[in-house]
């Protein structure tokens, strides 16, 4: 059993605490938060846990094997490094850090110290996303993918340290890294901050892949209704994933492109609902599966390499999106950055292995 401490008891922290606390592999010893009201609420639920506001002091006085970090993105780099330097395996909510350089630094530190660094990209452990990935891998959407569109909007919460892209689009970037066999070549980003001086609250991020596959992600913090809807089109079928649909979260439509078609006018546009089916789904909680995956990586650290690659891919896209936003939506290539990251990862792996 692993002793654990958790930093951050805000929006996501209590969910992580609940899942680690109920895991037979974890004994949670303490919680840390800068807000005394939140700490008091946690202690009402978990009265035997030690609570405090100083993470370094808690780590010194109550050493743990696992550190769980659920704090604003701007604090991730320092807190994750603190945990690694105290000899902890670290489980941190998405994204790993604000920059590619910070991500690489943390990954390198984890290898130097022989500790697991694991980012909670919860959708990568979602049974629905696994089902969608399998459909794509089996060719059931067709010989090629055509598009990915996503709408991820809600009425807050508004972040202070990241834009809506860094908060919401990260989920789609993680999903795309998992379900798509290829990596994006370039991106464009457009957005606006409707309150001067605040982070961008509404944005559109486009990712361009080989073979004319494109992903278009719309995010917004100031939408009156929460929407989580993805549509993935292939040359034979289309999957619609509406996470908040109370009846049918996943629906698959028959939308074949005619063979050797030279025009979309050749496509049969009779209602595709007549060729609709709804797959059976698993009801397992994704966050519980993420915790299980974390412990599986402790037994087999090589399983964490995909997690590291996702973190670097997302960080490079977020950095490119910032450049594109500053340049009124100019297309930014990812290929040079990716090559440099791959070279640095190869160096890190080579130095960590005998």
pLDDT tier at 46, thresholds 50, 70, 90:
very high
Task: Confirm if 228 and 244 have CB atoms less than 8 A apart.
Answer: yes
The 3-state DSSP class for residue 103 equals helix
- Residue 174 CA: distances (Å) to CA of 1, 66, 105, 307, 334: 30, 24, 20, 9, 16
Report the C-alpha gap between 148 and 207 in whole angstroms: 9
Average pLDDT for 69-95: 97
Per-residue pLDDT tens digits for 286-302: 999 999 999 999 988 88
Place of tokens 């834009």: 163
Give the side-chain half-sphere CA count within 13 A for 293. Answer: 23
Per-residue pLDDT tens digits for 8-37: 999 999 999 999 999 999 999 999 999 999
Judged against a pLDDT cut of 70, whether residue 274 lies above it is answered with no
pLDDT tier at 262, thresholds 50, 70, 90:
low
Q: What angle do CA 198, 202, 204 make, to 5 degrees?
A: 135
Task: Confirm if 73 and 97 have CB atoms less than 8 A apart.
Answer: yes
The pLDDT of residue 165: 97
Look at strands 222-234 and 237-242 and give their pairing: antiparallel
Q: What residue spans define the domains of the chain?
A: 124-286
Average pLDDT for 140-162: 94
- Residue 195 CA: distances (Å) to CA of 166, 192, 200, 264: 17, 9, 8, 42
Average pLDDT for 104-113: 96
The pLDDT of residue 267: 63
Tokens of 235: 């040359």
Q: Which residue has the higher pLDDT, 65 or 181?
A: 65
Query: Model-level pTM?
Result: 0.93
DSSP string over 326-337: HTTT--EE-HHH
Q: Work out the number of other CB atoms within 10 angstroms of the CB of residue 287.
A: 18
Judged against a pLDDT cut of 70, whether residue 266 lies above it is answered with no
Q: What is the mean pLDDT of the chain?
A: 93
Judged against a pLDDT cut of 70, whether residue 217 lies above it is answered with yes
Q: How far out from the chain centre does Cα 4 lie?
A: 23
Q: Which of 214, 205, 202 is nearest to 154 (CA)?
A: 202
Give the side-chain half-sphere CA count within 13 A for 317. Answer: 32
Report the C-alpha gap between 26 and 22 in whole angstroms: 8
Judged against a pLDDT cut of 70, whether residue 77 lies above it is answered with yes
H helix or E strand, kind and range, residue 322: helix 305-326
pLDDT tier at 238, thresholds 50, 70, 90:
very high
The pLDDT of residue 335: 93
In this structure, CATH architecture of domain 124-286:
2-Layer Sandwich (3.30)
């Amino acid at each position: 059993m692993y002793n654990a401490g958790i930093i951050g008891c805000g929006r996501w922290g209590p969910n992580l605490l609940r899942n680690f606390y109920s895991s037979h592999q974890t004994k949670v010893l303490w919680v840390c938060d800068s807000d005394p009201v939140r700490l008091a609420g946690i202690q009402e639920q978990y009265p035997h846990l030690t609570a405090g506001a100083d993470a370094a002091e808690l780590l010194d006085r109550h050493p743990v094997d696992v550190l769980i970090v659920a704090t604003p993105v701007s604090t991730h780099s320092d807190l994750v490094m603190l945990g690694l330097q105290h000899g902890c395996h670290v489980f941190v909510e998405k994204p790993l850090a604000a920059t590619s350089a910070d991500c690489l630094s943390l990954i390198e530190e984890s290898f130097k110290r022989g500790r697991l660094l694991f980012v909670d990209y919860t959708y990568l452990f979602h049974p629905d996303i696994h089902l969608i990935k399998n459909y794509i891998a089996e060719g059931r959407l067709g010989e090629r993918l055509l598009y990915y569109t996503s709408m991820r909007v809600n009425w807050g919460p508004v972040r202070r340290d990241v834009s809506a892209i860094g908060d919401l689009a990260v989920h789609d970037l993680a999903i795309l890294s998992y379900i798509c066999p290829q990596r994006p070549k370039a991106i464009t980003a457009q957005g606006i901050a409707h309150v001067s001086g605040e982070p961008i609250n509404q944005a559109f991020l486009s990712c361009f892949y080989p073979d004319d596959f494109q992903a278009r992600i719309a995010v917004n913090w100031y939408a009156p209704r929460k929407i989580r809807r993805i549509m993935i089109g292939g040359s034979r079928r289309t999957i619609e994933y509406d996470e908040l649909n109370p009846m049918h979260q996943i629906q698959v439509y028959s939308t074949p492109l005619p063979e050797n078609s030279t025009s979309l006018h050749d496509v049969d546009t009779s209602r595709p609902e007549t060729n609709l089916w709804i797959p059976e789904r698993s009801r397992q909680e994704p966050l519980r599966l993420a915790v299980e995956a974390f412990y599986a990586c402790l037994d087999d650290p090589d399983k964490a390499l995909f997690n590291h690659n996702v973190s670097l891919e997302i960080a490079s896209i977020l950095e490119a999106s910032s450049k594109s936003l500053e340049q009124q939506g100019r297309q930014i290539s990812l290929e040079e950055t990716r090559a440099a990251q791959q070279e640095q990862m190869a160096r890190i792996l080579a130095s960590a292995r005998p």
